[in-house]
Structure 1
Amino acid sequence: MSRPLTARQQHVYDFIVKTMNELGYPPTRAEIAKALGFRSPNASEEHLRALERKGAIRIIRNTSRGIRLPAQEPLENVDSLSCEPALPEPTAFQGLPVIGEVAAGNPILATEHIDRYCPLPAEYFTPKADYLLRVRGLSMKDVGILEGDLLAVHRTERVRNGQIVVARLEEEVTVKRFHRQGHQVTLSAENSDFSPIAIDLRHQALEIEGVGVGVIRGGNGQALG
């Protein structure tokens, strides 16, 4: 952070950090305005731009939740770290496995799904990442998760409403935002071109493979939280 923040800017920054720690993703401008009593999202935008000028955050343009903390993006070129081809039984540190196409019915970390390894420590992400999943399609583009990105995933079956999850529904593995009410689960895209997926747990099987904890842009670029 290059310059000290005003009291109001500090409140905005603290709310961003709190939201990301609790939900795993940043707030929208409207959510900031509502939480801090601003008259409109435009006031939030002004404070966000001031925070960006002072080096407290980075703004990703044209996304509703495009706020990143500098501590979450220190890498400039992941390819320069020389990702290695996958090995069946790695005996030394190789980093996080990169998962490509996932065959129906097979564990997501099955050897045949691992394309290579990227030498990032699991602890680079919070909570720690267990693998990197290659993103297909643009269903999550409005939160900055794009085709070809690598989504860092923490393996867990315990998720909260609002978190971005890797879910296995029948024979498909998908990345969506999770919401559950009773027996009903909704997996929502972050792209208005895609309809939500409604699931009745009494009649359909749903497995949670983990929660998203970060993104590596394009699989070979900036690391984003």
Structure 2
Amino acid sequence: MDDKPKLTARQQQILDLVRQAIEMTGAPPTRAEIAAELGFRSANAAEEHLQALARKGVIELLGGTSRGIRLKSDTLKAVHQAREAKEAQQLRMGLSRSKELNDRQFTLPLAALAQLSLPLVGRVAAGQPILAQEHIEQSYAVEASMFTQKPDYLLKVRGMSMKDIGIMDGDLLAVKKASEAKNGQIVVARLGDEVTVKRYQRNRKGIELLPENSDFEPILVAEGDESFALEGLAVGLIRGQMFN
């Protein structure tokens, strides 16, 4: 017998929207964002559907924050499976672009719900590990369950080369340590004395680090260039104004 809760078409649409937001950015949408996306007249309509989903056991609603939507373990497992299937399909098709981060970015929930402490990396000295103690400005507490992948640190974004997908100067990028990336992923890379955030693309020329701002040029990294190192993958974003 199938014990999977039966959802209405609208409830499934909202659940898919929440899944997509968490998969893309590491955080759920607000009620207002759900209402705007689906054409509701007010956030109250989104709240009613979320309450119904909570009663059916596919999500939990947390008080005290507008982004207090948590997927239940079975639902979160489905997110992981969907993400893995999507990445496998992208790899097979050789897509050069992905929707890892799109122009709809969501901030993380309030620190009052914290379960995870992440170091904030500021300026990085040449030749030093990115998580060296002298690079850590402070630590921030975030809700661990809001990430489909656990980040290892936060990086303060410098400049506007990624503004077209909503990554702005002063934002805090949640980063998972990694030494490899797939085409289309947003990465943190080291180039000599600099650490940069770009979209990763490998082709016959070598590795290209692509900006998301037409005012900036792509960076070509030749094969064997020892000044290049991949530091990690972007798995979420915290808006800089949250800490101003």
TM-score, length-scaled by structure 2: 0.58
Change in Cα spacing, 1:124 to 1:221, as seen in structure 2 (3 Å) is farther
1:102/1:173 contact within 8 Å kept: yes
1:67 counterpart (97, 101, 104): 104
- Structure with the bigger percentage of helix: 2
Q: Number of residues paired by the alignment?
A: 176
Aligned-residue CA RMSD (Å): 4.0
**1:49 CA drift (Å):** 4.8
Gaps of 5+ in 1: 27-46, 59-63, 82-92
8 Å Cα contact 1:153/1:211 also seen in 2:
yes
Deviation at 1:204, TM superposition (A): 5.2
CA distance in 1 between counterparts of 2:150 and 2:241 reads 18
**Distance between the aligned counterparts of 2:104 and 2:183, measured in 1?**
20
1:50 maps to 2:50 = no
Which of 134, 137, 152 in structure 1 is aligned with 2:174?
152
Are 2:234 and 1:199 aligned?
no
- The alpha carbon displacement at 1:144 in A equals 1.1
For 1:151 and 1:120, the matched residues in 2 are separated by 13
8 A Cα contact 2:207 2:221, kept in partner:
yes
Partner Cα distance (1:156, 1:66) in 2: 24
Summarize deviations over 1:77-132 as a string: whole Å, max 9, x none: x5x89xxxxxxxxxxx9811110000011000000000011122555422101011
Query: How far, CA to CA, are the matches of 1:133 and 1:184 in structure 2?
Result: 26
**Within-5 A mapping of 1:119-198:** 119-120=141-142, 124-182=146-204, 184-198=206-220
Q: Is the 8 A contact 1:134 1:219 kept in 2?
A: no
TM-score (norm 1): 0.63
In the TM superposition, what whole-angstrom CA distance separates every residue of 1:114-164 from its partner, at most 9, and x where no partner exists? Answer: 001112255542210101101111111111111111111000112111110
Conserved in 2, the CA contact under 8 Å of 1:98 and 1:117? yes
Mapping of residues 19-30 of structure 1, within 5 Å: 21=23, 24=24
